[in-house]
Amino acid sequence: MNASAVAPASAAGPTASAPPLLVAIDGPAGSGKSSVSRAAADRLAFGILDTGAAYRSLAWAALRAGVDLDDERAVLELLETWGFTITMRGEQWVTVTLPAEEGAASGDPVDVTAEIRDPAVSAQVSRVSKHPAVRERLNEMFRRIVAASGLPGVVIEGRDITTVVAPEAPVRILMTASPEVRAQRRAGELADMSHEQVLADIAARDAKDALVVDFFTPAPGVTLVDTSDLNFEQSIQAVVDIVRAVQRAAEESKR
């Protein structure tokens, strides 16, 4: 597996050699994890790792390569041979490289940034994320990417970050919002789908994903941020405030 994160050299500050401060954020679809995490990371001069983008890219690759998404061994084999890159600062940019023998992408990186958000991929991604061995391999990849980032801090967001990927993170947040609000937000992004269709799609995906990890209940020590009644700016501020409080406490404990 050839995976890397693209972080501009300027993103690495004077603390580049120290391990990054980890901010772990989980939550269901449409709660605001990705967009709020990205904006909060920018404000904190941290990087961001969108783990859902990796699961989406793997589903995209399996569909493109004609791999049976329900076949754990076949998906693992694909993981051994694919290439994956994701930006951790600035605009999100995601590429996937399929092995040359798969033909479709002939060994060249493909920009999948937009395509992995397509409802056709969203509807299939739970079929690859349900495999425990696939999750283990991707979790190792996430930890490697964060450790090699050279960034002062990384917001890492997904479904099992607070509990499995980085349970030791100094900041752990579960971001929620009511199903109605989540569907309304997503429907705003998917112009040609009705609110009811988006609500049904989100509910179906959450139900499948929840069979594998619990992202509705905060684990002990995890702070719940319910964005149902928060606007975008208030949601960003809620995350930034939590991180700043932890940074202040760490500074004070050093004195």
Ligand X SMILES: Nc1ccn([C@@H]2O[C@H](COP(=O)(O)OP(=O)(O)O)[C@@H](O)[C@H]2O)c(=O)n1
Ligand Y SMILES: Nc1ncnc2c1ncn2[C@@H]1O[C@H](COP(=O)(O)OP(=O)(O)O)[C@@H](O)[C@H]1O
Applying CB under 6 A, the span of 26-34, 61-69, 77-85, 141-149 interacting with ligand Y comes to 26-34
Over the chain, what HEC string results? Answer: CEEEEECCHHHCCCCCCCCCEEEEEECCCCCCHHHHHHHHHHHHCCEEEEHHHHHHHHHHHHHHHCCCCCCHHHHHHHHHHCEEEEECCCCCCEEEECCHHHCCCCCCEEECCCHHHCHHHHCCHHHHHCCHHHHHHHHHHHHHHHHCCCCCEEEEEECCHHHHHCCCCCEEEEEECCHHHHHHHHHHHCCCCCHHHHHHHHHHHHHHHHCCCCCCCCCCCCEEEECCCCCHHHHHHHHHHHHHHHHHHHHHHHC
Choosing from 68, 189, 196, 241, the residue that interacts with ligand Y (CB under 6 A) is 189
Residues in contact with ligand X, shown as a per-residue x/- string from 60 to 99 under the rule CB under 6 A: ----------------------------------------
Under the criterion CB under 6 A, does residue 34 sit at the interface with ligand X?
Answer: yes
Choosing from 209, 230, 239, 242, the residue that interacts with ligand X (CB under 6 A) is 209
Residues in contact with ligand Y, shown as a per-residue x/- string from 132 to 151 under the rule CB under 6 A: --------------------
Applying CB under 6 A, the span of 11-19, 131-139, 216-224, 231-239 interacting with ligand Y comes to 231-239
Residues 27-86 that bind ligand Y (CB under 6 A): 27, 29-36
Is residue 77 within 8 A of residue 38, CB to CB? The reply is no
Choosing from 186, 215, 218, 243, the residue that interacts with ligand Y (CB under 6 A) is 186
Choosing from 232, 244, 248, 250, the residue that interacts with ligand Y (CB under 6 A) is 232
**Closer residue to ligand X (CB): 159 or 254:** 159
Nearest approach in angstroms of CB 74 to ligand Y is: 28
Is residue 80 within 8 A of residue 1, CB to CB? The reply is yes
Structure-token match 């967001």, residue found: 157
Nearest approach in angstroms of CB 196 to ligand Y is: 17
Nearest approach in angstroms of CB 117 to ligand X is: 8
Choosing from 87, 124, 129, 149, the residue that interacts with ligand X (CB under 6 A) is 129
Applying CB under 6 A, the span of 4-12, 48-56, 103-111, 172-180 interacting with ligand X comes to 48-56
The site for ligand Y (CB under 6 A) is made up of 27, 29-36, 185-186, 188-189, 227, 230-232, 235
